[in-house]
Amino acid sequence: MVNMALFGKPKYTIVRVAKKKDMPADLWTRCPDCAQLIYNKALEENLRVCVKCNYHFTMSAWDRIKSLTDENTFTEMDADMHSVDVLKFKGVKSYLDKIREDSIATSLKEAIVTGKSKMDGKPLILGVTDSRFIMGSMGSVVGEKITRAIELATKEKLPVIIVSGSGGGARMYEGILSLMQMAKTSAAIARHNEAGLLFISVLTNPTMAGVMASFASLGDIIVAEPKALIGFTGPRVIEQTIHKKLPEGFQRSEFMMEHGMIDIVVHRKQLRETLNRLLGYLN
């Protein structure tokens, strides 16, 4: 917010900051795309989509599950599985401190919730990552939970939907152990696919790196929310590496759809209906 204010006229900057200080932070949210102030209640009622410009804010895993499934049909799998610090990782924060911090902030044990549920009466296996938990990154537990969920779907001949939102990709705190989850989740999806079953991957802002390079890009159908950042390496790093300006909209859902990586871009309000229709046609 402060950085944005720097680009405005100094006079207005002072007024804006002063106003913001008087404003209870838990009542209003400023849209990062159009800078509109949105009353939090209105934002929640609008499925966390900006009322002015349709910017899609990140959504918690449980809110997403609630928005996609029939009431009281979600049975969570592996709810108590949690990460251990095998590598004794020490950075600015230790891995265990980071897990503890994000667990308290999100009331989650890990960056994904998986389970069996129903969507308009149709049974399915659903996994939803939560980008508030270590950027939705995939460590051993996220990889294992996804794999177990897909394996249950294969056994019970059910379709799988995974909603991804991970700016973190493979979790650096777990080094090569997190990279191995890419192969493991991909192998589970391959077996699900060999059994002739449907996997729909839903990409939300942002889905990057090791998550995009494994299960998230392996959907029979790949659906994305509007303007979501989707790719492997971020645009800034690519630009610095190739010393060229990237095209407008590079790595956004719409751009990725034009270039064949994504099948359909769907507004959050139409997501459930679209998924439901796809399950009905193809399952």
Asked if 53 touches Zn ion (CB under 5 A), the answer is yes
Task: Tell me the β-bridge partners of 128.
Answer: 113, 163
Q: Which of the ranges 52-60, 139-147, 242-250, 253-261 carries the binding residues for Zn ion, by CB under 5 A?
A: 52-60
Q: Which SS3 state, helix, strand or coil, does residue 200 take? A: strand
Residue 49 touching Zn ion (CB under 5 A): no
Instruction: Dihedral sign for Cα 190, 191, 195, 199, please.
Output: negative
Position 55 contacts Zn ion (CB under 5 A): yes
Which of 29, 48, 50, 137 is the binder for Zn ion (CB under 5 A)?
Answer: 50
Residue 252 Cβ, how far from Zn ion at the closest point, in Å?
15
Which range, of 24-32, 147-155, 175-183, 184-192, touches Zn ion by CB under 5 A? Answer: 24-32
Residue 31 makes contact with Zn ion by CB under 5 A: yes
Is 202 in contact with 163 (CB distance < 8 Å)? yes
254 binds Zn ion (CB under 5 A): no
Helices (H), the chain: 2-7, 10-22, 40-45, 61-68, 95-106, 140-156, 175-194, 209-212, 235-242, 253-258, 268-282
Stretch that binds Zn ion, among 10-18, 42-50, 68-76, 248-256 (CB under 5 A): 42-50
By the rule CB under 5 A, 202 interacts with Zn ion: no
**Interface with Zn ion includes 30 (CB under 5 A)?**
no
Applying CB under 5 A, which part among 26-34, 89-97, 151-159, 161-169 lies near Zn ion? Answer: 26-34
And the tokens for 3? 């950085």
Is 34 near Zn ion (CB under 5 A)?
yes
**Alpha-carbon 41 to chain mean position:** 22
d(CA 279, CA 266): 15
Q: Which residues bind Zn ion (CB under 5 A)?
A: 31, 33-34, 36, 50, 52-53, 55
